[in-house]
Amino acid sequence: MNDMNKLDVTSTAFYYIVKELRKELVGGYVNNIQLVNYSDDNLVKIKVHKQKTKELIITPQVLFLTELVLPVNPDGGGLIKFLKKKLYNQRIQEINQDKNNRVVYFKLDDYYLIFEFFSNSNIVLTDSEFNIVTSKQKEEWKDRIIKKHEKYVFPQGKSVFEIGEKELLAQTKALELKECISYFVKEYNVYSGYINQAKDKKEIIKTILELYSLENAKLLLKETTTENKWIVIVIKDKEKNQTNNFFKEIANHYVKNIQINDSKENNIKKNKQESIKENQLNTRKEYEKIAKNLQLEGEVIYQYFQVIEKINEQIRIAREKKVSPEEIIKKINNYLSDNYKQLNIKSIDTKERSYILEIK
| Residue 293 in domain | no
Clarify whether residues 54 and 182 are in a common domain. yes
Q: Which of 256, 288, 320 is the last residue of a domain?
A: 256
Do 125 and 107 contact (CB within 8 A), yes or no? Answer: no
Instruction: Give residue 195's pLDDT.
Output: 95
| Residue 284 in domain | no
Clarify whether residues 86 and 199 are in a common domain. yes
Clarify whether residues 245 and 352 are in a common domain. no
Q: Give the helix/strand (H/E) hosting 300.
A: helix 284-303
- Residue 291 phi/psi, 5-degree rounding, is -60, -40
| Residue 277 in domain | no
| Residue 346 in domain | yes
Do 87 and 33 contact (CB within 8 A), yes or no? Answer: yes
Clarify whether residues 215 and 347 are in a common domain. no
Q: Which of 241, 256, 271 is the last residue of a domain?
A: 256
- Type of residue numbered 196: N
Clarify whether residues 106 and 224 are in a common domain. yes
Helices 284-303 and 305-320 cross at an angle (nearest 10°) of 70
Clarify whether residues 332 and 235 are in a common domain. no
Contacts of 69-74 spanning 24+ positions with Cβ under 8 A = 70/36, 70/37, 70/43, 70/45, 70/255, 70/258, 71/36, 71/37, 71/258, 71/260, 72/34, 72/35, 72/36, 72/37, 72/45, 73/34, 73/35, 73/36, 73/37, 73/41
| Residue 271 in domain | no
Instruction: Give residue 127's pLDDT.
Output: 97
Q: Which of 236, 256, 276 is the last residue of a domain?
A: 256
| Low pLDDT (below 70) residues in the chain | 1-5, 39-41, 226-227, 240-244, 256-301
Alpha carbon separation from 207 to 62, 68, 173, 199, 241 (Å, rounded): 24, 35, 17, 11, 21
Clarify whether residues 229 and 313 are in a common domain. no
Do 152 and 131 contact (CB within 8 A), yes or no? Answer: yes
Number of domains in the chain: 2
Clarify whether residues 49 and 177 are in a common domain. yes
Q: What is the pLDDT of residues 30-72, one digit of tens each?
A: 999 999 877 666 889 999 999 899 999 999 999 999 988 888 8
- CATH code of the domain in which 53 resides: 2.30.310.10
- What's the distance, CA 325 to chain centroid? 43
Which residues touch 36 (CB under 8 Å, ≥6 apart)?
43, 44, 45, 57, 70, 71, 72, 73, 258
3-state secondary structure 192-219: HHHHCCCCCHHHHHHHHHHHCCCCCEEE
Other Cβ atoms within 10 Å of 232 Cβ, number: 24
Residue of 152, 156, 70, 162 lying closest to 114 (CA atoms): 152
| Residue 297 in domain | no
Clarify whether residues 195 and 108 are in a common domain. yes
Other Cβ atoms within 10 Å of 130 Cβ, number: 16
Instruction: Give residue 287's pLDDT.
Output: 58
Instruction: Give residue 260's pLDDT.
Output: 45
Task: Give the C-alpha separation, 278 to 77, whole Å.
Answer: 36
Clarify whether residues 240 and 344 are in a common domain. no
Alpha carbon separation from 22 to 15, 107, 184, 300 (Å, rounded): 11, 11, 27, 22
Clarify whether residues 39 and 183 are in a common domain. yes
Clarify whether residues 226 and 354 are in a common domain. no
Instruction: Give residue 191's pLDDT.
Output: 93
| Residue 288 in domain | no
Q: Could you tell me the residue range of the domain that residue 63 belongs to?
A: 4-256
Q: Pseudo-torsion of CA 26, 27, 31, 34, nearest 10°?
A: 0
Q: What is the pLDDT of residues 173-209, one digit of tens each?
A: 999 999 999 999 999 999 999 999 999 999 999 999 9
Q: pTM, whole model, 2 decimals?
A: 0.69
